[in-house]
Each structure stands twice: as structure tokens, then as C-alpha cells.
């Protein structure tokens, strides 16, 4: 029997409403602290082109770490396995902005989805493109089929002024020889990359190529070969939701990438991409209502990769 996605999204929206006041907004980036917390959006992009949405699915939010996924996809598509010489692919079990393992691992980040890893990916892209932040934005515009995606200058500058940890991480990696560009340029570019604003409908569309074996479903552009796409999905599952990746896999059962703006993109390989957003975060920095919504989605639709 065909699944009525619209009915499911509408009922999930009702279910998560009581949670909307409960999460904590990320306030270490001052501009993010201004976001109205009681918002929630959800959108599904099916590979046959049908789109379903509920709640604030067309309100743009700060993509933050969700951009790490697109930076990685772009770097992986250009450099292939060479990226793994400079960044690992093991879950960190530590907060996304931790410096702790970096010292022990001599400047090699655990994975591309923590800040250290995303800074290295940004550095790899900066060697190939005139500006890595713009390359990532252009890439997201292409895969989202949305030319109006853009940086949010207020969020960018707000983060830049408080990016002390990211500077510390970048300096440590530079000291170990794992950052080729200037620290200031890489951190600035990374903060700008994180400030990209997107909504759930656009984000679900942007993730569709990863649910479609690396190929954009509407125009058949191959971004990644099927094997690389599968590998990127594996890295999302094990590392995409910070130190909560195990719990997230247990509850949701899908490859996903989250950001402190409250957005999460998740994939049902071969079928659909789903994006959720709600700014209130749980203790690990994942959207509280968003994670619950994905848990309910995979339960109600019996979708899972397991
Ligand atoms: N820009 C944020 C930071 O570097 C992104 C973190 C996140 O979304 N987890 O701290």
C-alpha cells in the first residue's frame, strides 16, 4: 500500500508541538540566540520528484554543520580517497568542537563532520577553488536546484567574532602541518560556509543525490559514483550527529547530518531525503524536536536501513 506521507508529516508536526519549547537554542553564536524557538519544519523529497512538507518547512534557518556534508561531498567528488590522508572516518565520541583528541592524533581529525574535520575539508577545497566558501555555496545551489541560497552575513560575522575554539583547533592543526592555508582565511571561510541559510524543502532536495546513489534525480548529473555515495552515507550514519551518533542510529536508523541551527538532513537510500528543523537542541547539539520527528517518521513508515 502506498504511504500517505502528507498525513504522516502532519501527524508528526502535531506530535512534536509539546517539545518545541523544551530544547536549548545554541547561544554561543550570538546571532543564533535570536531565533524564535517554537518553530518546526519537515519536508520529504521522494526520488520520483514528489515533495511533502509540514510546519515551517519554507522558513530558512542557519545550516551550520549541515554544510559540512556538502563540503565533504564536493571534496570527495574532486579528490577521492586522497582526503582520508588528512582526516579520519571514525566516530569521535566527543563534542563537535573538542580539541582533546586532536592533540593525541597529531592534528588528524577523527572525521569530517566535527569542526576540525570540516576545517581540513575547507582547506582542501581552498587549494582547488578560488574561495572554498563560495564553492560550497555554489555546490549547494546546484544540488538544491535553488539559485537564491546564500550566506547570512549577520550569522557569519557573529560566529567569526566568537570563533575562539575554531581558531584554536585550526592553529593546532596548522602546527601539526595538517592545514595548508592561513588559519585566519580558513576559519573565516568556514564561518561563512556555516552561515548558509536554507529551508527544509530546499535541504531535502539538496540531499536527494545522496539517497540516489550519488546522482541528482531530476537531471541525472552524477556527483559521486554509487560506491562513494554509499561510503559517504556510512560516514553520516557513524559520525553525522556528533557524539550522539550511536543513539541517533538506535532511535532513527538513517544516515543523517545535523547542525546547531537545528536542521537535520537524513536519507532513506533508494527512496527519499528528509529534512527537519527546529532550533531547540538536546544536550548533544542535535535538534530535540527534529530528532524526535525523524524517530517517529521511521517508525510510522517502517523505513530504516536496518
Ligand atoms: N559553525 C558552528 C561551529 O563551528 C557549527 C557547529 C555545528 O553546527 N555543530 O561551532
Instruction: Give the tens place of pLDDT for each residue, 127-155.
Output: 999 999 999 999 999 999 999 999 999 99
Q: Could you give the CA distance from residue 306 to residue 304 in angstroms, rounded to a whole number?
A: 5
Cα dihedral across residues 207, 210, 211, 212: positive or negative: positive
DSSP 8-state symbol, 205:
H
All three cell numbers of 45: 523529497
Three-state secondary structure call for residue 92? coil
Q: What is the pLDDT of residue 160?
A: 95
Question: Is residue 302 exposed (0-12), middle (13-18) or buried (19+ Cβ within 10 Å)?
Answer: exposed
- pLDDT by residue (tens digit) across 262-278? 999 999 999 999 999 99
Residue 72 has pLDDT above 90, yes or no: yes
Grid cell, residue 197, equals 541559510
Among the atoms of ligand 1, which is closest to the Cα of residue 28? 10
Give the span between the Cα atoms of 98 and 87, in whole angstroms: 15
CA distance 135 to 137: 5
CA torsion angle for 85, 87, 93, 97 (degrees, to 10)?
A: 160
Which residue of 32, 35, 65 sits with most ligand 1 atoms within 8 Å of its CB, as the best mutation to test the pocket? 65
Beta bridge partners of 19: none
For residue 79, is pLDDT > 90? yes
| Contacting residues for 182 by C-beta, under 8 A, at least 6 apart | none
pLDDT at 1: 65
- Mean pLDDT throughout 84-89? 97
Q: Say whether 68 is catalytic.
A: yes
Confidence grade of residue 92 (pLDDT, cut at 50, 70, 90): confident
Among the listed residues 5, 16, 52, 65, the single catalytic one is 65
**How far apart (Å, rounded) are the C-alpha atoms in residues 245 and 304?**
15
At residue 103's C-alpha, the angle toward residues 241 and 98, to 5°, is 30
Burial of 144 (0-12, 13-18, 19+ CB in 10 A): buried
| pLDDT (tens digit per residue) in 1-46 | 689 999 999 999 999 999 998 999 998 999 999 999 999 999 999 9
Q: Determine the residue of 96, 197, 258 to mutate for testing ligand 1's pocket, defined as the one with the most ligand atoms within 8 A of the Cβ atom.
A: 96
Gap between the Cα atoms of 206 and 210, Å rounded: 9
Q: How far apart are CA 213 and CA 186, in angstroms?
A: 31
Query: What does pLDDT average to over the chain?
Result: 96
Residue 170: CB atoms within 10 A of its CB come to 27
Determine how many CB atoms are found less than 10 A away from the CB of residue 51.
14
Q: Which residues contact 277 (CB under 8 A, 6 or more apart)?
A: 39, 40, 41, 42, 56, 57, 59, 61, 199, 200, 203, 261, 262, 263, 264, 287, 290
**5, 13, 45, 242: the active-site residue:** 242
Q: Are 122 and 70 in contact (CB under 8 A)?
A: no
Q: What are 44-57's pLDDT values in tens digits? A: 999 999 999 999 99
- Residue 13 annotated in active site: no
Q: Are 281 and 24 in contact (CB under 8 A)?
A: yes
CA–CA dist 229, 219 (Å, integer): 17
pLDDT digits (tens, 9 = 90+) for 186-202: 999 999 999 999 999 99
Q: Give just the sign of the alpha carbon dihedral 67, 111, 92, 304.
A: positive
Q: What is the pLDDT of residues 200-226, one digit of tens each?
A: 999 999 999 999 999 999 999 999 999
182/171 Cα distance (integer angstroms): 9
* Residue among 260, 268, 278, 287 flagged as catalytic: 260
Beta bridge partners, 54, equal 42
pLDDT band per the 50, 70, 90 thresholds, residue 279: very high
Amino acid at each position: 500500500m502506498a504511504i500517505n506521507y502528507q498525513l504522516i508529516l502532519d501527524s508528526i508536526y502535531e506530535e512534536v508541538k509539546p517539545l518545541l519549547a523544551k530544547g536549548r537554542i545554541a547561544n554561543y553564536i550570538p546571532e543564533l540566540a535570536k531565533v524564535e524557538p517554537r518553530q518546526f519544519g519537515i519536508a520529504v523529497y521522494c526520488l520520483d520528484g514528489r515533495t511533502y512538507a509540514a510546519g515551517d518547512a519554507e522558513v530558512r534557518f542557519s545550516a551550520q554543520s549541515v554544510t559540512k556534508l556538502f563540503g565533504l561531498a564536493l571534496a570527495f567528488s574532486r579528490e577521492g580517497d586522497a582526503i582520508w590522508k588528512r582526516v579520519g572516518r571514525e566516530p569521535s565520541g566527543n563534542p563537535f568542537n573538542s580539541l582533546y583528541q586532536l592533540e593525541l592524533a597529531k592534528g588528524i581529525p577523527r572525521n569530517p563532520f566535527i569542526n576540525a574535520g570540516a576545517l581540513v575539508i575547507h582547506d582542501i577545497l581552498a587549494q582547488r577553488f578560488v574561495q572554498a566558501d563560495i564553492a560550497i555555496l555554489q555546490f549547494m545551489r546546484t544540488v538544491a536546484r535553488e539559485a537564491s541560497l546564500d550566506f547570512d552575513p549577520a550569522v557569519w560575522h557573529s560566529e567569526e567574532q566568537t570563533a575562539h575554539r575554531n581558531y584554536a583547533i585550526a592553529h593546532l592543526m596548522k602546527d601539526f602541518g595538517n592545514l595548508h592555508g592561513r588559519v585566519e582565511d580558513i576559519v573565516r571561510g568556514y564561518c561563512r560556509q556555516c552561515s548558509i541559510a536554507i529551508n527544509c524543502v530546499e535541504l531535502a532536495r539538496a540531499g536527494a543525490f545522496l539517497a540516489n546513489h550519488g546522482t541528482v534525480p531530476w537531471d541525472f548529473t552524477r556527483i559521486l559514483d554509487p560506491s562513494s555515495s554509499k561510503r559517504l552515507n556510512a560516514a553520516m550514519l557513524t559520525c553525522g550527529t556528533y557524539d550522539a551518533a550511536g543513539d541517533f542510529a538506535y532511535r532513527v536508523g538513517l544516515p543523517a547530518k545535523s547542525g546547531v541551527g537545528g536542521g537535520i538532513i537524513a536519507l532513506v537510500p533508494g527512496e527519499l531525503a528528509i529534512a527537519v528543523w527546529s532550533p531547540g537542541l538536546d544536550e548533544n547539539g542535535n535538534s530535540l524536536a527534529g530528532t524526535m520527528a525523524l524517530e517517529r517518521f521511521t517508525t510510522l513508515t517502517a523505513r530504516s536501513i536496518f
